[in-house]
């Protein structure tokens, strides 16, 4: 018996985002790994604002499975919740940007 109607299993998040603490001026990197490529509608958000590839926000993808967001030269106001969304899959993590105390 040959099954002509092959239903591809839905992708799942293998490794989700992790909370990240960095100092002002540093880079923060978030990575999310999916079980297989081909998931549509991949989007990154910071506190509900969609992120796009530019000089300070680097969005990349490897093998269609490993999705990476790097926020460069972060400031205190960048602290918040980072959200990765791929289709119906969602992973979130906290970004905490720490100021450098001059009273050390």
Each residue's pLDDT, cut to its tens digit, for the chain (104 residues) gives 555 544 457 899 999 999 999 999 999 999 999 999 989 899 999 999 999 999 999 999 999 999 999 999 999 999 999 999 999 999 999 999 999 766 54
CA 39 to CA 68: how far, in whole Å?
A: 15
Domain ranges within the chain, ordered by starting residue = 13-98
Which two three-digit tokens encode residue 2?
Answer: 């040959």
CA 61 to CA 42: how far, in whole Å?
A: 10
Let me know: does 42 contact 53? Beta carbons within 8 Å: no
pTM equals 0.87
Ranges of beta strands (E only) in 1-104 are 13-15, 20-23, 28-34, 42-46, 49-50, 57-62, 66-71, 80-86, 89-98
Q: Which of the four CATH numbers 1.20.990.10, 3.40.50.1820, 2.60.40.10, 3.10.150.10 does domain 13-98 have?
A: 2.60.40.10
């Amino acid at each position: 018996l040959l099954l002509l109607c092959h239903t591809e299993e839905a992708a799942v998040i293998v490794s989700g985002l992790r909370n990240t603490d960095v100092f002002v001026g540093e880079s923060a990197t978030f990575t999310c790994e999916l079980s297989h490529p081909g998931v549509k509608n991949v989007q990154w958000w910071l506190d509900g604002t969609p992120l796009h590839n530019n000089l300070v926000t680097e969005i990349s993808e490897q093998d269609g499975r490993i999705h990476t967001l790097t926020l460069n030269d972060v400031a205190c106001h960048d602290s918040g919740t980072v959200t990765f969304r791929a289709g119906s899959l969602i992973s979130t993590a906290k970004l905490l940007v720490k100021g450098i105390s001059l009273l050390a």
